Structure 1
Amino acid sequence: MDDITTTTLSLFLVLLILLSGFFSSSETGMMSLNRYKLKHSVNKKNKGAILTQKLLSRPDRLIGLILIGNNFVNILAASIATIICTRLWGPDAGVIIATVGLTFIVLVFAEVTPKTLAALHPERIAFPASFILMPLFKLCYPFVLGLNSITNGLLRIFGIKINDIDNDHLNSDELKIIVNEAGALIPKRHQNMLLSILDLEQVTVEDIMVPRNEINGINIEQPIDEIINQIKNSVHSRLPIYRDEIDHVEGFLNARQMVKLLTYDDNEITKEALLKAMTPVYFIPEGTPLNTQLLNFQRRKSRIGLVVDEYGDILGLATIEDILEEIVGEFTTDFADSSRDIQKEEDGSVIIDGSATIRDINRTLKWELPTDGPKTLNGLILEYIEAIPQAGTGMRLEGYPMEILQVKSNMIKSIRVWPELYQNKTELD
């Protein structure tokens, strides 16, 4: 070492500091990579990404390799710096200057700066570095394997198994965070659709069904002329056929069969023809999540079903269109048409039918009424005041000023709400 000039040692020291920065940036870049961006690059046959994925398949060995290289160059750099400083300033002052000076240089040029750069641009650092680290890994494999055997043995003493590496699978809540943080990469409407799909498992058929008392069907016991008139004026593409009451449902009459029947003369349409044209009833158990029900509709090639409770009583009617609206939103754009139960008045107030579902209200008016209890506004108000109110009763529900307009048969039929007053209160708060 005494035969090597100070200039040569200085150049060698600079090289070692650069190598230290390389190992530091490689470690941070590899560990900061987005695993899904990496997989996307691998699918595009990016050679750097492919090598990086191979290295990351065993992160313990990758870290071992990088630390072997980093510690080796740092220790060697410290020895050379000590020799240089000792030559220039003597043995006593040289050791102190070498220690302080090299610590500062390593921190700035071999640690903080390269690691910050790698954290900001992991792909730009990790992918090129993999072309160097992979051959180096093969060259140093015995040393890396020996080091990992010792460290993994120590971890096993504490009950940690290195093979129990957490996989990259995400749950629905984590996926929602990714979608929300996508920003401009995914249009806002597409974000809402993706989030709605992820929410399907948390929503049941009761949340989107048409309540029993609002089901529009054909009572086969009615006179045939009334039935024909009902079919001609129906706005629905599928109608349940029942006897006297909906609990005695016989089947469904779809739009195609309706059109076919209406091509006949009125005197040729009989109740027997209606019963022969109908399709079988599909019953949906209450509590069925929407993601499950969507698959059930697909398997059965059905579009409509009746929701029943554990006793077989009919609770309501659910269609595949109702589920699709949970994903893409209402199929209409006009406010008045978006929900037949919600009407906006000229004075800024909103008239809401008591049977309107909480989810429909929240979606249409962008409110945040609780959905973990009663499914309708009528049920939510009754739960809140614990009594049957009279018409004209005023209240504030979840911050929204409301007035009960009509009560009939122990049910709230209509409510007036002033959203502007709620917004003004929020701004004052």
Structure 2
Amino acid sequence: MTAREHDVVVYGATGFVGKLLAEYLARHAPQGTRIALAGRSRSRLEQVRRGLPAPARDWPVIVADAADEDALRAMVTSTTVVATTVGPYLRYGLPLAKACAEAGTHYADLTGEILFVRKAIDDCDALAKASGARIVTACGYDSVPSDLAVHLLHQRAVHDAADGLLDTTLHARAKGGVSGGTVDSSRAQVDAVSTDRRAVKTLFDPYSLSPDRAAEPDLGKQRDPMAVFRDADTGDWVGPFVMASFNSRIVRRTNALRGHAYGRRFRYRELSAYGGGTQARVRATLFTTALGLAMKAMADPRSRPVFDRLAPSPGEGPGDKARRSGWFSMKVRTTTETGRRYLATVTAQGDPGYAATAVMLGEAALSLALDGDRLPDASGMLTPATAMGDALVERLRARDFTLRVEEIPGA
């Protein structure tokens, strides 16, 4: 693909996250990287380009509507990688993913939508394997920290001859906001469930993104916890993590794509952590209650209009000050088959869903475009760990992300 006109096309560059991604690449892409901006409106693309740092001023713009197959085909055949922020992906993402799979063009997105990823696997995996394309979903806060943390835990266990991973739990803490695009993605899944009851099974099956559901081990129900409780291992008050249902399925897909390298008894879950003490318990209870009420309001036709009025609209999101002051910290603990225990830590500054996500998607796109033989030998519908692995770990460390593993003393 070195003969192609562009290295990376940013699709959705006029959207909230698309602008952040374009700005990140303008500041941090290596000199000489050939980048283009793409979306539905030439005038809006040119306006965005005028507001970017100087290296972006000569970037070409490409007009391509998500519903225009010919325009999508022309765009994807012009580039090595498409990095797309156009969601909800269940509504708009499949034609682009399929076009990339057919053309042998690598693809990276920010989806947190189980139903979209399942549909993309069904429609695109064989095509991408035939063309050599890496179609990589979940390249932002969903689900890079989760996927790479368990990837690093597995590497350490292999290095120490500690055998497979057993019970593995992520505790997430973060400061960040919500954009209208994130809310709209949730709406898309709720609407899909209301019209297709089969989607409910996909949403609640812990192995719904597996490449071979019948080959998965029977480890009992692995439902995401929905109550507040005190974690016996850390003493923290914990509750449901809004991204757990998606992230956990991505991590399990990584395990399956690697031939269950993490182990046949690998169990994984994610929780929000609030610390110890009474105040932490109150915060956990309040947030869990608010989350439950928001989901019910979105799903109930009677309260949906009120929810829609109060929620941010597509294109809206946290301001610059809020994005800069945000952060996230993920601690992932595991026990191995030999009884040794390890802790993986992934942290970064910046609003996790926006500032930090622009870094993660930007570096994922650059890795797919520029890292060549450093990438795992893989194609098809992939996860961040199976598509980029250590190459992405190294890139994020170079951008001041913390990604480390240590053994838990006394284990």
TM-score by length of 1: 0.21
**Which has a greater percent of helix?**
1
**Which has a greater percent of strand?**
2
Higher relative contact order (CA 8 A, sep 6+): 2
